[in-house]
Structure 1
Amino acid sequence: MPANTLKFTIIHESTVPLYYQLFTQLKNEIQNGTLKPGDLLPPESQLCSQYSLSRSTVRQALNQLVEENLVLRRRGKGSFVAEKKLSRNLNHLYNFTEDMFELGIYPHSQVLEHAVEYATGETAKELKLNEGTKVFKLTRLRLANTEPLLLEVTRIPLYLCNDIVNEDFSNTSLYNYLKSKYDLNLHKAIETYEAVKLNKEMAQLLNCKSGASAFKIQRIAYLDSGIPFELTNSYQKGTACKLRLELYANQNKVNFSRETTLEKRSNNN
């Protein structure tokens, strides 16, 4: 249903504030799929006229939708239904392929580079390798359905999986492959997040503007033996990612520990 033909009821005699009624009605239309990502909402003047509301009431309802990341305002163009943000559960060793399927989203990878190189600098340091040790390098553009979400560069010591260069990772989960093919017991990962701006090349791949905000995520993953088996540097566009921190009080301490999760909706490992 086009946004400009939406029809619902606002009860002026209700004790529920008018702005909240409008906010709830529009939110329901977004969540049930009547209003889809990219749809243009009716202009404020139309909502005022159609439901006999003041401009301040309509604006308050739209502001609430913006605060909940359900609507985006574009100056001079209007208010649009926002794209859903994919969420990541970071409390377990993350597997992009499996988590996307659980969300009903088809995961796909476009392999941009698939090669063997020699470890230097950061790679040698983080993977605890001697300079010049062979590593497998895999560069992928990660997609949910057809939407590019993540540009990912992964390096793995070649001695752990010497036939990996023969595998096509367009539709294969890297983590499942390492477990099934090489019986590697993947144990834990440490991720570091940094806010960055995308350069022109990265922005083109992620289908956004040069200089757009993104999360740079460095992941170092370990086997149960303590050996680091993966170094991944990835760039996830900020518009597709939302982080939520859950804080817990430790029983014997005053400070708080943190668990980080993404709220449900974007790495293919």
Structure 2
Amino acid sequence: MRCPAGAATTVPDWQTFEVNGLQVDKTSFTPLYKQLFYIICQQIQNGTLPLGSQLPTQKAIAQTYNVSLIVVKQAWSELINAGVITSQRGSGSVVSAVPEGVSYGHTFRGITSDLRDASVAVENRILEIATRRARDAQEDGLSLPTHHHYLYISRVRYLNNRPFNHEKIYLDLSFFPGLTLTADELAHTSLYHLLNVKSDSAIEKVDAILPSPDLCEKLQIAENKPLLSVARQTFMAGEEHPFEYCRYYVLSDYFGEIHYH
């Protein structure tokens, strides 16, 4: 849905946009540009930025939300790719569609890839690498095909020296005959890059839980701190069976926090 060529545009009062708007949370694990993308979508959905209206300049938005122009440009690119705004040289950016829904959490490409796109460094601390069978995954609530062998990886991920994610990964070795991975490789390189695979789709089941004593220790959190527990199956392009089974626990903060004012 795009604004017809030559149609008149209205410029919303910028003070209204600022006061009624949302704020980015710089302590959140969610990249700033994704938060800004979500904020602008919310402004469009609630009518602060009507269809056909002209957006403030990128410089004005950067000043209002105290973020860099690079962050704003990344958010702009996402909005344009989603068809939410159009940008024309010399005439600014215009709201061209009302988004029906917004999601700005992680993707099945992997947390490392998501945060690398936002220029955020993730530290991986490898706890264990071992060959296991399907029955070993049952205690993690994962149902794996029997008679296959799996490479098991346990790791904790850190941002700014804060643990936020614990993963238990089972790679089906029928897809990767003779695969060996070292802790040093996994500590410095995306797993999917090491496997040289292109993930096509994933199935996830998400539950909210309270951490076990083991998770409290690994993630350095209190026993009443809620977590998201995710069971994921990841598929290669063109394949019917998953190459990866994973149980991971992640702080809900990673998915972002938006404050209304």
TM band (smaller chain): 0.5 to 0.7
Equivalent residue for 1:209?
222
Counterparts in 2 of 1:141 and 1:88: CA distance versus 1, 3 Å = same
What is the Cα-based RMSD across aligned positions, in Å?
3.2
**1:176 correspondence with 2:190:** no
Q: Can you give the 5+ residue segments of structure 2 that lack an aligned partner in the other structure?
A: 1-14, 29-103
Q: CA deviation at 1:221?
A: 0.8
Moved over 6 A (4+): none
Q: CA deviation at 1:203?
A: 1.2
Higher strand share: 1
Q: Which amino acid aligns with 2:220?
A: N
**1:102 correspondence with 2:88:** no
- Residue pair 1:105, 1:145 contacting (<8 A) in 2 also: no
- Deviations 1:66-99 (CA, angstroms, capped at 9, x unpaired): xxxxxxxxxxxxxxxxxxxxx5243xx3222221
Equivalent residue for 1:149?
164
Q: Which residues of 2 match residues 155-234 of structure 1 at below 5 A?
A: 155-168=170-183, 169-179=186-196, 184-223=197-236, 224-234=238-248
2: CA distance, partners of 1:160 / 1:232: 16
Q: Which amino acid aligns with 2:190?
A: S
2: CA distance, partners of 1:211 / 1:150: 16
Q: Which residues of 2 match residues 78-89 of structure 1 at below 5 A?
A: 88-89=105-106
- Residue pair 2:232, 2:245 contacting (<8 A) in 1 also: yes
Counterparts in 2 of 1:166 and 1:240: CA distance versus 1, 3 Å = closer
Q: CA deviation at 1:139?
A: 0.3
TM-score in terms of structure 2 length = 0.53
2: CA distance, partners of 1:241 / 1:207: 18
Q: Which amino acid aligns with 1:228?
A: P
Counterparts in 2 of 1:152 and 1:125: CA distance versus 1, 3 Å = closer
- Residue pair 1:100, 1:144 contacting (<8 A) in 2 also: no
2: CA distance, partners of 1:202 / 1:124: 15
- Deviations 1:179-227 (CA, angstroms, capped at 9, x unpaired): 2xxxx44321111100111012211211210232100011001122212
2: CA distance, partners of 1:94 / 1:164: 20
Q: Which amino acid aligns with 1:198?
A: P
- Residue pair 1:196, 1:215 contacting (<8 A) in 2 also: yes
2: CA distance, partners of 1:210 / 1:163: 40
Aligned length: 163
2:255 aligned residue (217, 227, 241): 241
2: CA distance, partners of 1:177 / 1:220: 18
- Deviations 1:14-63 (CA, angstroms, capped at 9, x unpaired): xx99xx97x98xx87x86x7xx79xxxxxxxxxxxxxxxxxxxxxxxxxx
TM-score in terms of structure 1 length = 0.52
Counterparts in 2 of 1:186 and 1:127: CA distance versus 1, 3 Å = farther
- Residue pair 1:136, 1:156 contacting (<8 A) in 2 also: yes
SS in 2 for 1:106: coil
Larger Rg: 1
Counterparts in 2 of 1:196 and 1:177: CA distance versus 1, 3 Å = same
Counterparts in 2 of 1:145 and 1:178: CA distance versus 1, 3 Å = same
Counterparts in 2 of 1:166 and 1:102: CA distance versus 1, 3 Å = closer
- Residue pair 2:192, 2:198 contacting (<8 A) in 1 also: no
